[in-house]
Structure 1
């Protein structure tokens, strides 16, 4: 901070270092200060504000520059799948709406206007309330970057309430419906039978199953070690750690499922050798051709096709996970056991997601009141 005397008074020149976003020096310059004492007072004030991280500079930084910095510096520790989703939100809707805007000029009303724009999109393209909320969360994170850079003092997204999200009715199959589904699978598609049976009897996520390798299955203990997940990013299969720390877990399997997996292992070896694949060390459990299978190989189209033969109402692949929890609850398993088996981060997640499936205890409780009279 420098104080200079001129014919018109004093000049206070505050240098805050180089800003990589704007690619110029950050400065605050005040001219025509009447007295040296006033200049020194301002100098002391700016110094205090600077150390308290409350000093806003007048750099003309655009929203686009903040977006570039966020994805370059603030997502380095995030999973590729998460970054891909965030970039989708940003590139398709957030950036086109705010592009070219000066970050210092954007206000709360601009953020509300963006949210309202999403709400009023055409019915065919309109996002769900849950997706709109996720766009607003990312928008708030972008403004947090501007706060970190002392470009704004307050986040204009603060105080904007989340949209109400109505939970969709959970779909799941009973054991009778699942048996009907499995019996409708043609024997030439045996891998489908093994895949969907494993999904129903373990509750594993689709990505966890696709990343599964034979070394992850301990047939001596009838146990599966879930230690990774597979996602599709930029047309490539990417294997990463599971969704959360708790998702890294061991799942016990029943004897019949273990026998089915062993049988498939033998069939798979013969099948892949017919494709001249002899090195089976790195193949995945459900691979049945030269290419590693992706989610779509066992997704909605496949399930719908089988359901048409079976005369069933189709469910999503993820609903096999819900069906497994319903099966566990029907077998009176403890909620703590269900939480560990599903790999939930907390028991709150298990209760919030599946609490409505547990038997209603209120009736038996209120029936006891009859004994009072």
Structure 2
């Protein structure tokens, strides 16, 4: 009988819930010491309803380590390699060491908060980074819900940490000129012994004058360049994953675009192509349309060749503050804004998926229009 009165006067509910889809075992749910028959009948009805709607967890005991492995094996197939690499780093370095082989049915919001507090206490991760760890954790537990291992996600009620927006760093045109002069001076000192140093001149000019992402630049082939139109065809990006250079499609669909460049930059690029031809010939390599534009040895270039560390080293001989390699992209947008370019044109040039991204990222750089708007209202009276 599903409801039985015990000798104590209380009731026991026994619900047959069919067979577990994973283990094949017959599932039964027992709830004892229910005080009234009406309460027992309600409990029984609720259990049967959850069974009918397939809302009950399975009896399969699975560890967090196994669940994590399942997520990366089956639920990241459409993600970019760089994204997967970052997520795997979160799991390997923090999630798995904390939760280990704990049965996922035993992990509650209490354990999730303990994990969050531990990351905060370490003081090695920013609030933004900690939030990203919690986002991944929720995605992993979403798999457990889909598989019917658990009913609710223990991450749901965990609040994100407050993230203070960092002040954007960029160079003015004057600061960039100081930097690039230092690069040019270094090349002139050793150009006979190290002609390949010219690549750093053209690369940093590329970053400042086009605003390309570093991976988009290193992925460029000569066939992606059209001297006549003075533009690059941006259709791929490069990144280093597990020690290997991997080429993928751009960050977003909007990342596939044409980016024009100015005439003076064109002259620098033509000069580099001639120098590159001599350098690669010395390695027995023929320059073809499929040659990487910024290749200067027998190896394919990647962003590490032009890293922030190198920028810092160059800046030690100047009076300017170093910026990150990615900040060249910000510097380019600041240059466009200072040149009074339209917001929609900037969005297209940068390859943003939405103009909202452009506004959220660079809106504070645009001049304040409040005063001019108020002045125009004055003219109406």
The TM tier, using the shorter chain, reads 0.7 to 0.9
Q: Which residue of 2 aligns with 1:265?
A: 273
Q: Which residue of 1 aligns with 2:156?
A: 158
Q: Deviation string for 1:39-72 (max 9, x for gaps)?
A: xx99997775345331222322111111111011
Partner SS state of residue 140, structure 1: helix
Q: Deviation string for 1:313-364 (max 9, x for gaps)?
A: 1111101000000000001111011011001110111000000000011122
Task: State the Cα distance separating 1:371 from its structure 2 match.
Answer: 5.9
Q: Which residue of 2 aligns with 1:95?
A: 96
CA contact (8 A) 1:197 1:257 kept: yes
TM-score by length of 1: 0.88
Q: Measured at CA, do residues 26 and 244 of structure 1 come closer, stay the same or move farther in structure 2, by a change above 3 Å? A: farther
Whether 1:77 and 2:81 are equivalent positions in the alignment is no
Task: State the Cα distance separating 1:252 from its structure 2 match.
Answer: 1.1
Q: Which residue of 2 aligns with 1:143?
A: 141
Give 1:159-308 correspondences, 5 Å limit. Answer: 159-185=157-183, 186-187=186-187, 188=191, 189-278=197-286, 280-308=288-316
CA contact (8 A) 1:70 1:142 kept: yes
Q: Which residue of 2 aligns with 1:325?
A: 333
Structure 1: 5+ residue stretches without partners: 4-9, 34-40
Q: Measured at CA, do residues 45 and 333 of structure 1 come closer, stay the same or move farther in structure 2, by a change above 3 Å? A: same
TM-score by length of 2: 0.86
CA contact (8 A) 2:17 2:51 kept: no
Q: Deviation string for 1:285-320 (max 9, x for gaps)?
A: 101011112212111221112212232211111010
Partner SS state of residue 24, structure 2: strand
Q: Which residue of 2 aligns with 1:60?
A: 61
Q: Distance in 2 between matches of 1:168 and 1:140?
A: 26
Partner SS state of residue 314, structure 1: coil
Q: Measured at CA, do residues 30 and 115 of structure 1 come closer, stay the same or move farther in structure 2, by a change above 3 Å? A: closer
CA contact (8 A) 2:15 2:44 kept: no
Q: Measured at CA, do residues 27 and 225 of structure 1 come closer, stay the same or move farther in structure 2, by a change above 3 Å? A: farther
Structure 2: 5+ residue stretches without partners: 3-13, 33-41, 192-196
Whether 1:25 and 2:29 are equivalent positions in the alignment is no
Give 1:26-41 correspondences, 5 Å limit. Answer: 27-29=26-28
Q: Distance in 1 between matches of 2:201 and 2:136?
A: 40
Q: Distance in 2 between matches of 1:305 and 1:260?
A: 23
Q: Which residue of 1 aligns with 2:359?
A: 351
Task: State the Cα distance separating 1:176 from its structure 2 match.
Answer: 1.1
CA contact (8 A) 2:231 2:260 kept: yes
Q: Deviation string for 1:142-180 (max 9, x for gaps)?
A: 110110111111111112111111111111111111111
Whether 1:313 and 2:321 are equivalent positions in the alignment is yes
Say how many residue pairs are matched: 351
Q: Distance in 2 between matches of 1:170 and 1:31?
A: 59
